[in-house]
Chains A and B, each alone.
Chain A
């Protein structure tokens, strides 16, 4: 048995990858570099091609066009068992006929590693389940199976660890706990993690870099903060958190800022957050960046006036308002309940204000509903 690619190390480089199933393009001309040692997330709704991308990296699918390199080594057509890459599968895919110990030892035995016992015990301690070595997978809880699936993969110290919705089957509380643990383990073992998920909160909690995927392509790539504060497309603005997108036109320049006209009211926004191609824009503001004030109260920054409170939802840590604007749009506003002031009431006439730096601008020809109609929590992976 020859592992020609097994010693490959370095950055993972996908070059112009396309994967077609008949007429359907699951992945469309995708290029991507994942730095060695990073925690990378592929985030997107069901059917966006993220799992297909992961399977091509694992070697379970072959790209129709394009190449995959690990460092200097071309692994595009290399068989899965010849790649120094391991996967934590969505439903764990533990071997039901083997004990937990033998499940974890599987990869070590195939590679002819000598000290199987020591390696397995080390990784069992890492996931804090050394007492389960003799059990069968069906005797474990979902959370325990998840850890064993992780242990079975990282025991091989792969150049790359792929995680396919690894927390999808766990309940919310356990999922949050595992997110933190996964992040910790990644730091501990120093491997490159590529994590596929449709849960934006999960991606933002764990990943250093997130690539947001939509319809087989990468919409935008960056750190969680970059993606959240400065989304380039309506899809990203809506898929990561919520956004208020207000139609407008660019009316002038003011140093590093752009002045925009939103339904007759002037606002300014930083130039580096504008992704418009012409004068037509959608100005975007995150709901928690808005402040609400009663009419006639002086406010600083960007102001939109003429609104009135349409709906109030008290959530505890914050209050969520829907504010109807004169041009017929309803804006969403999250106000922290930290100032001892009683919430506004339905029907109050208000102004909305915010700091200009929190504004981003999208192209005026965007579909403002992109990315907001899919509810990623309820959809199952493709």
Chain B
């Protein structure tokens, strides 16, 4: 009997943790999402009326921010993939003795706070930074154009912040590729591009899927980049939920939006994994 119980005992701490900090809040959130204000009550006082209409109201009211969230997350994911793939490839195959050093550099941003780094970008892209004056002097942007408080800044911030989450899984799967399979491909009449398309990319696909998920999911729910680098015109769904909850004290709408976001991500991710799994992405 002791042997049978051991695995459950080992699972217990994790299960208790998840129950307290995941299951209970989720249930609480679900309850909140169908509540309505108490008639004549104070701000922030709600009662359970099972009003599922909350979901529809919240969605219709914020569909623009939903769309923007997924669009920004998608662009940031694609950009991160385009930057990370050559980087991960170079670290895995071409870096020689500098491999570990370069990997440390990829992780190095985590040594400082996410928030601080995003604020730093605000400085870099600001009027006093060197980027805007430089771009203006060489005529790439006009005198009146600014970079902060734009969609560009938000997407760029997201791309930057989630880059390591893309690079690390990509590196892990590219590093596992036997370089001799690439030689074999060249030996079997495939040029460099065909070798990439037919051998390297399919073999690194698990890394691509993991990296894009690790980037897209948090990016879709992100509000820090939009809050610091954006403007009211670049509000994402994360910002709406945050302000509904903390500023307007509209708990049911915030909860309904959270669930809608979760469901949307879940559906998108499922479709994506299905496609990637059947190699339709290649």
> Is B187 within 8 A of A87, CB to CB?
yes
CB A51 to nearest CB in B, in angstroms, measures 12
> Is B189 within 8 A of A93, CB to CB?
no
Q: Once the chains are docked, how many angstroms separate the CA of A107 from the CA of B191?
A: 11
Q: Restricting to A84-118, which residues have a CB under 8 Å from any CB of B?
A: 85-87, 89-91, 93-97, 106-107, 110-111
With A89-B180, A93-B181 as contacts: A79 and B186 at CB distance below 8 Å: yes
> Is B188 within 8 A of A97, CB to CB?
no
CB A53 to nearest CB in B, in angstroms, measures 16
Interface 1/0 per residue, B204-227 and A, CB below 8 Å: 000000000000000000000000
CB B271 to nearest CB in A, in angstroms, measures 22
CB B196 to nearest CB in A, in angstroms, measures 13
Let me know if A66 is at the binding interface, CB within 8 A: no
- Give B195's nearest chain A residue, CB to CB: A81
With A89-B183, A93-B181 as contacts: A106 and B188 at CB distance below 8 Å: yes
The one of B183, B191, B194, B198 that contacts A93, using a Cβ cutoff of 8 Å: B183
Let me know if B67 is at the binding interface, CB within 8 A: no
> Is B180 within 8 A of A152, CB to CB?
no
CB A330 to nearest CB in B, in angstroms, measures 45
Q: Once the chains are docked, how many angstroms separate the CA of A60 from the CA of B187?
A: 8
> Is A91 within 8 A of B180, CB to CB?
yes
> Is A95 within 8 A of B186, CB to CB?
no
The one of B189, B191, B194 that contacts A156, using a Cβ cutoff of 8 Å: B189
> Is A95 within 8 A of B184, CB to CB?
yes
> Is B183 within 8 A of A60, CB to CB?
yes
Interface 1/0 per residue, B79-100 and A, CB below 8 Å: 0000000000000000000000
Let me know if A342 is at the binding interface, CB within 8 A: no
> Is A80 within 8 A of B187, CB to CB?
yes
Let me know if A1 is at the binding interface, CB within 8 A: yes
> Is B183 within 8 A of A80, CB to CB?
yes
Let me know if A361 is at the binding interface, CB within 8 A: no
> Is B189 within 8 A of A107, CB to CB?
yes
Q: Give 13 CB contacts A-B under 8 Å.
A: A1-B191, A58-B187, A59-B186, A59-B187, A81-B186, A90-B180, A91-B180, A93-B178, A93-B180, A95-B203, A106-B185, A111-B189, A156-B189
